[in-house]
Each structure stands twice: as C-alpha cells, then as structure tokens.
C-alpha cells in the first residue's frame, strides 16, 4: 500500500500536475492539504478519473482545506477543529485493516516568531499544543498514520541552514520543541528519518521566491509522515518526489510517500 501526502496549494489549479503525479507514482491513498475549494465545488469527476472512488474532504474558499483520496474503502472518523478557529485543517479515516489515518494542515504562522505581536504565530503554537494533547490521549496500540503539512522543520538538516533560520518561522526553537514533544507523546516514528540518516539534508518545500530553486536549494522539510510503533515493521520504502517542483504551475511543496506492506 502506497500512501502519499501533498500540499497541493489549490486542487483545481494544480489538477494537471496532480494527474501527472498519480500516473507516475500510483498511490493507493493520497492526502492533500490546502485544497482551497468549498465542498460544493469539489472536483469529483477529476478524482474519480484518477481512480479514486473513495473520497473525504473538508474545504473552504481560497484557504486551507484537506482531503483524502483513496482507491481503498474509507470509513470517516471525526474531524477536529484543533485550535477552535473553524478552519478546515484536519480530516481522518479508518483504512482497511483497522489503520487510523489523520491528515493535518498546521498553520504556517506568519513571518514574525513572536506570539505576543503576531496572532498567526500564536495560533500555530496553540494548534501544536492541541495536537500534543490529542496525541497524549491516544492509545499507542491503535495502528495510526499521522501525516500532512505540519509546517515545522524539526531537525538541523531539515533546513538548508539551521544557523541562519533559527529565528525564522518553521524552524524556531519553540516550534521545534513542540514538534519533538508531539513526536515523543506515544513514540511516533518519523518515516522520513527512519529511511534517511539524520546527517543527510532532506527537504519537501522550496520558496517561490527563489528564482532557481534547484541551484540555490534553500529548502525545508515541512511535510511529514509518521506512524505509531506498531506499524514500524510494515514500513517498506519512502520517497520525496522532488521533480514535481520543476513542473509547470506547480506547488511550492512536493509530495512525500510511504510504502507499507
């Protein structure tokens, strides 16, 4: 089973690259963030044409939005409004075999890493606190996958320069502390770092501001796949599809994928 996650940055605008990615990687389950489409306008015909007969989505106009596209049957699980903002940032489903799947889109947090002067950063920290509380209350024996655009790069080599980005939102000390606290609640396994050594640079996002993203390679690992310890033996492979960042009219994020068996 292949499960992928991608901040698509507008589902309808990126329809051509979504189709191209699905044809190339053939994921069984594809979780999207920033779909930016109201539920009444969700492109059912598009996702069915891609082979996804089972779909869950929660969207809003122009902002946020999450979806789960699946070739496998899905049973909806309750969605959460983690920070109480009303934004569509979480969706969940039960996969065949009793595996719980949670798709999150954590707030980006704005530009100023000060919750006192930047409400967006305060909201991000509150969201992370909510995730920590949610995870602490979970039964670690339930096989669970947590994935999505978590908008935090927790480790030194998850960014192009930890020293230069230590005061930049997504890599500040307080964000990294909360991410690691969340990881530690029930012993989540960071799938990427299960396969890729900590000393190796690893990114899933490159800013649109970089004229040549590949030459500068100033990336960050903001997109994550985690599993509970019970699923660790099932991990077979992991991929970050960097080439999608070169595709026409693409997202600034690239897909991450785990293969399990």
pLDDT tens column, 152-178: 999 999 999 999 999 999 999 999 999
CA gap 35, 261 in Å, rounded: 29
DSSP-derived secondary structure for 145-175:
EEEEE-----SGGGBS-TTTTTTSTTSSHHH
Q: What is the mean pLDDT of residues 137-152?
A: 97
Q: In the structure, what pLDDT confidence band is assigned to residue 97 with cuts at 50, 70 and 90? A: very high
Q: What is the tens place of the pLDDT at every residue in 174-211?
A: 999 999 999 999 999 999 999 999 999 999 999 999 88
Contacts 24+ apart (CB under 8 A), 48-56: 49/19, 50/18, 50/19, 50/22, 51/22, 56/91, 56/93
Note the pLDDT of residue 83.
Answer: 86
Q: What is the mean pLDDT of residues 131-145?
A: 97
Does the domain made of 2-260 have the CATH classification 3.60.10.10?
A: yes
∠ CA 110-116-121, nearest 5°, is 25
DSSP H or E stretch at residue 15: helix 15-25
State pTM to two decimals.
0.97
Note the pLDDT of residue 211.
Answer: 87
The whole-chain average pLDDT of the chain stands at: 97
Cβ atoms of residues 222 and 204 within 8 Å: yes
Indicate whether 254 pLDDT > 90. yes
């Amino acid at each position: 089973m292949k499960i992928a996650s991608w901040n698509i940055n507008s589902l309808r605008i990126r329809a051509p690259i979504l189709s191209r990615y699905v044809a190339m990687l053939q994921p069984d389950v594809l979780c999207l963030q920033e779909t930016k489409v109201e539920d009444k306008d969700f492109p059912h015909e598009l996702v069915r044409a891609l082979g996804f007969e089972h779909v869950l989505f929660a969207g809003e106009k122009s902002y946020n939005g999450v979806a789960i596209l699946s070739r496998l049957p899905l049973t909806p699980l309750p969605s959460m409004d983690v920070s109480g903002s009303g934004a569509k940032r979480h969706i969940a489903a039960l996969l065949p075999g009793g595996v719980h799947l949670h798709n999150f889109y954590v707030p980006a947090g704005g530009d100023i890493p000060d919750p006192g002067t930047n409400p967006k950063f305060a909201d991000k920290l509150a969201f992370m606190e909510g995730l920590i509380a949610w995870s602490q209350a979970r039964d670690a024996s339930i096989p669970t996958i947590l994935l999505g655009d978590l908008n935090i790069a927790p480790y030194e080599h998850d960014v192009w320069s930890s020293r230069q980005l230590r005061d930049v939102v997504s890599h500040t000390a307080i964000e990294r502390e909360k991410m690691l606290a969340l990881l530690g609640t029930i012993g989540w396994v960071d799938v990427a770092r299960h396969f890729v050594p900590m000393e190796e640079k690893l990114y899933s996002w490159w800013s649109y501001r970089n004229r040549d993203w590949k030459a500068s390679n100033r990336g960050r690992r903001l997109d994550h796949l985690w599993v509970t310890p019970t699923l660790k033996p099932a991990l077979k492979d992991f991929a970050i599809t960097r080439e999608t960042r070169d595709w026409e009219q693409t997202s600034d994020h690239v897909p991450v994928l785990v293969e399990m068996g």
